[in-house]
Structure 1
Amino acid sequence: MTERVRIGMVVGETSGDILGAGLMSALRKHYPDAEFCGIGGPRMLALGFHSFFPMDRLAVMGLVEPLKRLPELLKIRRFLREHFTEHPPTVFIGVDAPDFNLTLEGHLKEATIPSVHYVSPTVWAWRQGRVHKIARSVDLMLTLFPFEAEFYQQHQVPVEFVGHHLADAFPLEVDQLGAREALGVPADARVITLMPGSRSGEVSRLGPAFLQAARHCLEQDPSLQFLLPAASPDRYRQLHHQLAEFTDLPITLIQGQSEQAMTAADAVLISSGTSALEALLLKRPMVVAYKVAPVSYAILSMMVKTEHISMPNLLAGRELVPEFLQQRAQPQALADALMHYFKNPEQTQALTETYDRIHRTLRQNASESAAAAVARLVEKR
């Protein structure tokens, strides 16, 4: 290509900044002199990205906060639409932030600007009707998981599965002894790691149940030790307060170091979310629990179309690991599921072998794969 390549990108939070920076670096291998502009985070800025607005202006969560910020968000999107329409980029890439990016991508696609969305919204799980808006809005969807690509193929949306950056970052072989040494855990200990979540509400709902489950496990095996990593200083204080009623447990509360705490474990009791994917990549047997407010669950249960909610089971297409939702997340049931791994080592070994196959499937050099897909779209245009 003779003219200079200009690439528009918009990310809305830290995870998008990580993906965006990786994609920028990979795209520069195709277009060494490319210019990047839009909205980016600190990792992207360090690579020369020109951001028209701070990334944190898009980082809103919940139901009320986005409504309060709606006028500002609409103003930002209008500016981007007008800028990219008047100064058309070679390609526009929206990274996650679907509520913001998909509408912008649709406007730019109408203006014949190639439009890419990187990271599928959970359209395969709920509000599946959104796929029609996605089809109108993007020239290419880039997915992190293969089952997502299959969903878009069924709906005739151009798609490429590019893999997950965490699968690239996590080694295939896990150093459990090294993690135990770093945490001061004996090499021959039997260890369960408890991970009740990173948000206050999650820890409030799951923390006591996880600690009671640990007590039931200890009744079955008094030699057990427990690790409890806290996701932040606030969660550390919250968990420390909960532990006041469980002074009988041989448990170590840790600030951060969740990856090492999972690696050191023989089994993990975990809330559903990204951490469950991390536990899979670390080849840890796990039991997944999920609890939300009753009203939220009633709404979600009517909308969600998938049989499973945890990423290991979604990736396997079957119940690979036990899931306990809402009222089923009882301490004794969680404890029995955890102890099943210790009592059935052959099944546990088979599980880790399945984890390894999934890890290798997701390990696609995601940034380079995404960049190559974008380059093919550009060259086709």
Structure 2
Amino acid sequence: MKVFLVAGELSGDRLGGALMEGMRQLMPNVEFAGVGGPLMGAQGLESLFPMDELSVMGIAEVLPKYRHLVKRMHQTAKAVLDWQPDVLITIDSPDFCLRVAREVKAVSTIRCVHYVAPSVWAWRPKRAQKMARSVDHVLALLPFEPPYMEAVGLRCDFVGHPVVTEPVASAEEVAAFRAQHRIDDAPLLVALPGSRRGEVGRLTPAFGEVVARLKQKKPDLRVVVPAAAPVADAVKEAVAGWPHAPIVLDPNLMGPEEGLAQKRAAFAAADVALAASGTVSLELAASATPMVVAYDMSWLSWQIMSRMALIDTVTLVNLVSETRTVEEFLGPAFQPEDIAPALLRILDNPEAQQAAMALTMERLGKGHEAPGLRAARAVLDGLGA
């Protein structure tokens, strides 16, 4: 069996790697081709081009790179058609991936599966109808998503979220992390300014102002910044201007396993997190680390997206648990003088989010079959294999 996969960012690479591992378990002779990152590479994928070329978010941010992205889209679709796989699996990054699927479907009958249902419940609901013209099957990460896809005639399987199977640091690993970095019993903030260069550039200066305000109230506060590998240098450069130097975890200076272990330990060791909006909120929830979510974007992107939004929260912990326990500071509300007090409130009352985080993990499939294997099983079932 031949499977062509396309992922456009780190979260998609993680999903793709787990799916590929699951497919190998169920069908050992499977062949892979496509676009992906290091985790998909570890499963045998030779990426058509570097995945991080596609890791662009925000309308204003995409425009300068639009022509290059279109070129990569055509290149990817041609590679699919030349290889003639049994199935094309596009993973998240819908603005790129669904265009590839549409181009492939226009001239072939290759089955197309899209992994991660687009958030039609959040904005642009008509995407589900457009998607149904070029996609045969959707794999959903969130339990409330299948009805939105099925309403337009798409097969959609909830396969669980990979965060529920990822290891969490033990008490011993947390103690070792604090000792290694000489944190001891000091309060610890984990700062997560995103995995894209644009995010790092926008968010990090304000995060530094938040840290400065927190240090005025908590002089012994320590800060750790686990950097994503593609933006580690940018993160180090950006935090160099912070008034209090944080501990930066650069995975490029560690082996893959050590890098992941250090990140897990940082999450579990932290008393509170300041995080960019995204799936990282689920990783923090898995570690039972209370958080505040803060995110900014260009004025144009905010004006467009805020007018199209159908929901009152973007944080997945809030959405999955059907609560609003995680405070958000988005767009115009992205103000250090408001974010810092919210973090202090969490430091004083960390139990406030515990029930919501536990419920989120349960609803995402904790304790069930691994999502990568469930996703692989759903793909093969759709193929009749």
TM-score range, shorter chain: 0.7 to 0.9
| Matches of 1:323 and 1:233, distance apart in 2 | 27
CA gap 1:333/1:128 in 2 versus in 1, 3 angstroms: same
| Matches of 1:49 and 1:276, distance apart in 2 | 28
CA gap 1:37/1:351 in 2 versus in 1, 3 angstroms: same
Q: How does 1:16-95 map to 2 (within 5 A)?
A: 16-41=12-37, 43-45=39-41, 47-49=43-45, 53-56=48-51, 59=54, 61=56, 62-69=61-68, 72-73=71-72, 75-80=74-79, 82-83=81-82, 87=84, 89-95=85-91
| 2:141 alignment counterpart | 144
Q: Give CA deviations for 1:343-362 in whole Å, capped at 9, x if unaligned.
A: 33xxx335223312322332
Q: How does 1:159-238 map to 2 (within 5 A)?
A: 159-171=156-168, 176-186=174-184, 188-199=185-196, 201-203=198-200, 205-222=202-219, 224-229=220-225, 231=227, 232-238=232-238
SS of match in other structure, 2:16? helix
1:109–1:139: 8 Å Cα contact kept in structure 2? no
| Matches of 1:225 and 1:74, distance apart in 2 | 46
Aligned length: 361
Deviates more, 1:252-261 or 1:41-50: 41-50
CA gap 1:154/1:306 in 2 versus in 1, 3 angstroms: farther
CA gap 1:151/1:26 in 2 versus in 1, 3 angstroms: same
Deviation at 1:284, TM superposition (A): 0.9
Deviation at 1:171, TM superposition (A): 2.7
SS of match in other structure, 1:160? strand
| Matches of 1:209 and 1:17, distance apart in 2 | 29
Q: Give CA deviations for 1:202-257 in whole Å, capped at 9, x if unaligned.
A: 455444443443444444444x412141621222122112x2xx3xx5x5332435
SS of match in other structure, 1:147? coil
2:127 to 130, 138, 158: 130
- Matched to 1:302, the amino acid is R
2:193–2:276: 8 Å Cα contact kept in structure 1? yes
Deviation at 1:75, TM superposition (A): 3.8
| Matches of 2:138 and 2:332, distance apart in 1 | 37
- Unaligned stretches of 5+ residues in structure 1: none
Residues 1:353 and 2:355 are matched in the alignment: yes
| 1:334 alignment counterpart | 339
Deviates more, 1:13-22 or 1:371-380: 13-22
Deviation at 1:158, TM superposition (A): 1.4
1:308–1:314: 8 Å Cα contact kept in structure 2? yes
2:192–2:274: 8 Å Cα contact kept in structure 1? yes
1:120–1:142: 8 Å Cα contact kept in structure 2? yes
| Matches of 1:212 and 1:74, distance apart in 2 | 39
SS of match in other structure, 1:120? coil
Residues 1:253 and 2:252 are matched in the alignment: no
Deviation at 1:7, TM superposition (A): 2.7
Q: Give CA deviations for 1:290-325 in whole Å, capped at 9, x if unaligned.
A: 222323211221122221122222222331211122
Deviation at 1:92, TM superposition (A): 2.6
2:377 to 364, 372, 379: 372
| Matches of 1:47 and 1:306, distance apart in 2 | 37
Deviation at 1:378, TM superposition (A): 1.6
1:10 to 6, 23, 29: 6
- Unaligned stretches of 5+ residues in structure 2: 251-261
| Matches of 1:268 and 1:285, distance apart in 2 | 6
1:140–1:159: 8 Å Cα contact kept in structure 2? yes
| 1:115 alignment counterpart | 112
Deviation at 1:17, TM superposition (A): 3.7
| 1:280 alignment counterpart | 285
| Matches of 2:161 and 2:357, distance apart in 1 | 14
CA gap 1:37/1:212 in 2 versus in 1, 3 angstroms: closer
CA gap 1:318/1:47 in 2 versus in 1, 3 angstroms: closer
CA gap 1:72/1:350 in 2 versus in 1, 3 angstroms: closer
1:95–1:118: 8 Å Cα contact kept in structure 2? yes
SS of match in other structure, 1:136? coil
TM-score (norm 2): 0.80
Aligned-pair identity (%): 32
2:12–2:92: 8 Å Cα contact kept in structure 1? yes
SS of match in other structure, 1:261? helix
SS of match in other structure, 2:345? helix
SS of match in other structure, 2:72? helix
Deviation at 1:373, TM superposition (A): 0.5
CA gap 1:134/1:173 in 2 versus in 1, 3 angstroms: farther
TM-score (norm 1): 0.81
| Matches of 2:28 and 2:81, distance apart in 1 | 27
